[in-house]
């Protein structure tokens, strides 16, 4: 009976979505429609690419693998210890036959540097006025936990000839090719492996290898090493490779790294007060579980509803954590059923649905949200809102973070981020400094052009084909793609054929549902993957329980939020947060 109802809901949801659009339906029907769409996506848009080079047996099981996350992500799934582990392959959300990259000559058309300059360049900053800049920092912070393809291959780079008048320092522009899976099937489409684990395990805070993870620890009471600026001590920088994702570090990431390292230590104190039998290792492992779960909760019930603030998605996303009966019901009566739609995903049965768990190349592609980052920053005093500094993006980048934090109290920097807006995710709003990004390791890249090349070479379908494979109608013309007639003309001039529009460019151009910071096309991936990251992880499902986390640990996750975390470590921020419903929305001006 359940499968019959599910199939009927799936069919009905697709019809309603195509005829009216889920975002125009009354709330109860809209919620059911999203549940049906998610079911369809689970059945048709999860595709296994195989295990990759970690197919061999993992290292010996750690003594506490049943109740603690491993650094390399093994043993999350006890029946398949390699699932989601370090160096596991990215999966796909489209059938593998559609993931072959185009031939090289077609892949390079239109020229990605031309797309960058003509369609993405920020002529004037367009703000996302419903959000604050912490929202932009947050998603980069989380992405550094979720996925990394590693450094590109230096041999035989892509070569992009430049137009006359292009000021780039070399012609042609060279972009390293993506690093392919060394164990890929030569008869199949290319595959790629992750340099992080696929799990939502806070590896961005705790490190992705044993050496760094151990160097971050004090060795006492489970705590992490933090200096006077609230960051890891400078001697740990020898463990950081600025050629990798660490080269993208900036002051926004520093705020969140500091916040969650402080939170880890506060959790250790709380756990120690409630269980004196936990030693240094026990406190560290339990605090890591709690901290990672709190990050996942904040992303689910605070960040995502702020970025896609349609009334339906706000309810739906909170239901991922609390169920459709809501937080109040769960806290009063408990999670009374195994059905995660009703009770929320935490503590429900683990389910990978139709493919082994992994993050996917399509998921990576929709998180290309660099327009969120401004080029210019205004820092203000929490005392009286006066301007204390005005800086550009390079002046708050990886090599300048400590200098800025020595000049300004962290409370002022947090307050400033709460008052500043990120950029809108749309055409002509890509950060200028990222189109000419001089990285700490010494190289120089156009990140916009690189984003486009990377998406093409990894076989992510172009915009219209992507829509078809996610059960959406393709657009028939540039005027149908965007409501902005000037953009439509520019798109036609660059692409000529609407079928050639890049996935990222199409998502930036298309109209957004009410309250959305990103496109409805991107949302289709989120419908599927937002719950999958929770539902596949045993530490969010079957092992989200006091016997694993401790009762004090579970209570900490259930009772805390982004607001309580900010105010625990920086109570001076309370006046700026008064009356602010979501901490990722603009904060109050104070001091005047």
pLDDT tens-place string over residues 227-236: 988 888 888 7
**Cα gap 323→383, rounded to integer Å:** 40
What is the chain's mean pLDDT, rounded? 93
Task: Give the ranges where 323-419 is alpha helix by DSSP (H).
Answer: 326-333, 340-343, 361-366, 401-407, 410-419
The residues facing 175 across adjacent strands are: 158
| Per-residue pLDDT reduced to its tens digit, 333-346 | 888 888 888 889 99
pLDDT for the residue 56? 42
Average pLDDT of span 133-138:
97
- List Cβ neighbours of 72 (8 Å cut-off, separation of 6 or more): 58, 59, 85, 86, 197, 208, 209
The residue that leads in pLDDT, 237 or 491, is: 491
**Cα gap 122→436, rounded to integer Å:** 12
Average pLDDT of span 565-570:
98
Query: DSSP code of 392?
Result: E
Q: Specify the range with the lowest mean pLDDT, choosing from 126-130, 242-246, 276-280, 581-585.
A: 242-246
**Contact assessment for residue 459 and residue 91, using Cβ atoms and an 8 Å cutoff:** no
The yes-or-no verdict on residue 63 having pLDDT over 90 is: no
The residues facing 380 across adjacent strands are: 387
pLDDT for the residue 55? 42
**Contact assessment for residue 305 and residue 297, using Cβ atoms and an 8 Å cutoff:** no
Reported confidence tier of residue 536, pLDDT bands at 50, 70, 90: very high
Active site residues: 144
Reported confidence tier of residue 2, pLDDT bands at 50, 70, 90: low
| Per-residue pLDDT reduced to its tens digit, 478-522 | 999 999 999 999 999 999 999 999 999 999 999 999 999 999 999
**Cα gap 256→455, rounded to integer Å:** 28
């Amino acid at each position: 009976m359940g499968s019959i109802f599910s199939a009927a809901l799936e069919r009905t949801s697709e019809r309603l979505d195509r005829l009216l659009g889920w975002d125009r339906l009354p709330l109860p029907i809209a919620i059911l429609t999203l549940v049906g769409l998610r079911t369809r996506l689970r059945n048709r848009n999860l595709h296994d690419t195989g295990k990759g080079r970690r197919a061999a047996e993992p290292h010996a099981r750690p003594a506490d693998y049943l109740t603690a996350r491993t650094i390399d992500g093994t043993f999350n799934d006890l029946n398949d210890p390699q699932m989601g582990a370090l160096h596991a392959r990215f999966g796909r959300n489209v059938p593998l036959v559609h993931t072959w990259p185009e031939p090289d000559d077609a892949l390079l058309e239109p020229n990605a540097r031309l797309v960058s300059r003509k369609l993405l360049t920020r002529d004037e900053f367009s703000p996302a006025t419903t959000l604050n800049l912490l929202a932009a920092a947050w998603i980069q912070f989380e992405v550094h936990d979720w996925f990394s393809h590693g450094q590109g291959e230096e041999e035989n780079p892509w070569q992009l000839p430049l137009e006359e008048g292009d000021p780039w320092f070399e012609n042609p522009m060279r972009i390293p090719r993506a690093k392919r899976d060394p164990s890929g099937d030569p008869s199949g489409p290319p595959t790629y492996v992750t340099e992080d684990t696929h799990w939502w395990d806070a590896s961005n805070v705790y490190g992705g290898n044993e050496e760094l993870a151990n160097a971050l620890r004090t060795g006492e009471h489970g705590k992490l090493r933090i200096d006077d600026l609230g960051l890891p001590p400078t001697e740990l920088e020898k463990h950081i490779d600025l050629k990798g994702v660490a080269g993208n570090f900036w002051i926004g990431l520093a705020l969140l790294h500091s916040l969650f390292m402080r939170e880890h230590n506060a959790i250790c104190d709380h756990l120690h007060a409630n269980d004196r039998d936990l030693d240094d290792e026990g406190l560290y492992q339990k605090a890591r579980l709690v901290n990672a779960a709190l990050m996942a909760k904040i992303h689910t019930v605070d960040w995502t509803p702020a970025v896609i603030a349609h009334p339906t998605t706000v309810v739906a996303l909170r239901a991922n954590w609390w169920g459709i009966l809501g937080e109040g019901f769960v806290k009063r009566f408990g999670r009374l059923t195994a059905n995660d739609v009703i009770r929320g995903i935490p503590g429900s049965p683990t389910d990978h649905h139709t493919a082994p768990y992994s993050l996917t190349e399509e998921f990576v592609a929709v998180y290309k949200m660099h327009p969120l980052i401004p080029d210019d920053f205004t820092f203000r005093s929490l005392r009286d809102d006066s301007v204390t500094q005005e800086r550009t993006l390079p002046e708050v980048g990886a090599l300048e973070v400590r200098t800025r934090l020595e000049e300004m109290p962290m409370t002022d920097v947090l307050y400033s981020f709460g008052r500043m807006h990120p950029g809108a995710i749309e055409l002509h709003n890509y950060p200028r400094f990222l189109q000419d990004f001089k990285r700490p390791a010494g190289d120089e890249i156009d990140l916009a052009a690189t984003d486009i090349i990377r998406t093409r070479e990894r076989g992510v379908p172009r915009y219209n084909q992507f829509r078809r494979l996610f059960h959406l109608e393709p657009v028939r013309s540039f005027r149908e793609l965007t409501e902005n007639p000037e953009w439509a003309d520019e798109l036609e001039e660059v692409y000529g054929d609407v079928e050639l529009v890049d996935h990222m460019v199409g998502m930036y151009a298309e109209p957004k549902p009410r309250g959305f910071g990103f496109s409805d096309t991107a949302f289709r991936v989120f419908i599927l993957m937002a719950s999958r990251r929770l539902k596949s992880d045993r530490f969010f499902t079957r092992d989200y329980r006091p016997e694993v986390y401790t009762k004090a640990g579970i209570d900490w996750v259930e009772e805390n939020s982004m607001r309580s975390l900010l105010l625990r470590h920086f109570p001076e921020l309370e006046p700026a947060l008064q009356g602010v419903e979501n901490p990722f929305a603009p904060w109050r001006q104070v001091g005047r």
